[in-house]
Chain A
Amino acid sequence: MLRSALVAGAATALAVAGLAIASPAGASELAPHHMNPHAAKTAATATGGNLAYGGGNVVTAPTVYYVYWGNQWGTSSVTNDPSGEVALQQSFFSHAYGSGDTFFTSQTQYCQGVATGTTQCGTSGTHVGHPASSPLGGTWLDSSAKAPSRPSTAQIAAEAVKAATHFGISGDNVQVVVDLPHGVVPSGFKTQYCAWHDHTTASNGADLPYTNMPYITDAGSGCGANFVATGSSGVNGADEGITIVGGHEYAETLTDPAPSSGWVDSTGAETGDKCAWISSGQGASSIIGLNGANFAVQSLWSNNFNSNAGGCVTSYTSATNQH
């Protein structure tokens, strides 16, 4: 079942990728100008300083699993997805690997197994992993019942555990994204958050990182629609929030899978928070290329940017080659 899910996911991802214009391999910045000035920032948040290690785990071998929760998505396959979120999410992660991804590589500087309070791992410790192939481990349509119209945090966590059991996974190297269907609005979505990640306990007692991912386009510009000018990238402006928010949560799970025992700054912000909704200047949200496909993303925090002063970056090849 997992294999079939992966094959289906890959096929969808390729179809989506085919809609995007060709771009060079690597996370090249294609359209750095934003379109939506509402409440956007023009510079990175300077408060809080660099991220510091909290003594817990990071994700050393990332794999992402998606569960489409509820028969509102469809009964035997996903048929109710007006914004095409499923295909775009799968495409995004199917392209986030190897040398063709110089976006998520900014997070590989963070590590575990070093002293608490460390801000520069160097070659010490075990670093956040960067997959050599697609980190998308599997997808599952759980159409066994209708998802609640306003699911509680406990219900979302329970669905993550259910999906982990389905996939046969657990531990901090996996993350389950609970995709809520169009029209399902958990309390706080759109007004207090776009998505969030947390961890719970899998049925075997192991830790289980998961993400509550509501139907992002339901939130419109508040959660990223049309935040970045698309230019000739082929990106659909209305869908930008899907990958902006998706990349934010993925990166934060890589560096802090069991909040807040991983990497956070002195104010409690994680790697994505410090760089959210930057509209111009260093770290501005932009459209990048990942292995030949284009996606809108926000920048991520790099402790070793600017001679270890730290900053928000959208491309990272090494400590001395990032922007």
Chain B
Amino acid sequence: MNRALGVLPLAAIVLLAACSGAAAPAAAPAASPATANPSPTVLPACAKLPDPVLPHSAGELTEQQHGVYCLPRGQRLDIFLTAAKSADVWTPVQATGSVLAPTSTGVMTAPLGVTPAMFVGTADGTSQLTSTAPSGARWTVTVVVKG
């Protein structure tokens, strides 16, 4: 109980940031001290994904989105990062942890200069998505997977 209360301020901050529409920094899962009595993991608050453009998708993200987004467990998230200018193409999107599994981007031909990625939420938890561009630009989003 006390540990759960301890992470509430962090969850509240993330929730406020998500609701304000501001670009929230990626939030890491609350660290839990090693004890003999595990408690349920408290996942950060998250925003609804923008509507998808491809079939079978829960939603999509572009380089315009930052912050924390929700992905229902078992559903797919599509990502399209468009280069701001010639030769400044985003690198392949990397996901931390194991709650997101890459899946086929091959359903579509991406336009020139667009870096696509697709992930399926396989387990409850959080994952940080990142990509960088040669110009030094960095894109980061936190995805909260929950059933």
Contacts and interface: CB of A to CB of B under 8 A. Distances in A.
Q: Are A and B bound to each other? A: yes
Nearest to B113: A39
Interface in B88-147: 88-89, 92, 102-114, 116, 118
B111 A192 contact: yes
B103 A192 contact: no
Nearest to A38: B86
Size category of the A interface is 35 or more
B111 A193 contact: yes
Contact of B92 (A36, A39, A267): A267
A224 B110 CA distance: 10
A153 interface: yes
A220 B96 CA distance: 36
Contacts of A38: 86-87, 112-113
Contacts of A270: 104-107
B106 A194 contact: no
Contacts of B89: 39, 41
Nearest to A41: B89
Interface string A238-261: 000000010011001000100110
CB-based closest 3 A-B pairs: A270-B106, A188-B53, A39-B113
Interface of A: 36-41, 45, 47, 153-154, 157, 186-188, 190-198, 219, 221-224, 227, 245, 248-249, 252, 256, 259-260, 264, 266-273, 276-277
Interface of B: 51, 53-56, 60, 62, 78, 80, 82-83, 86-89, 92, 102-114, 116, 118
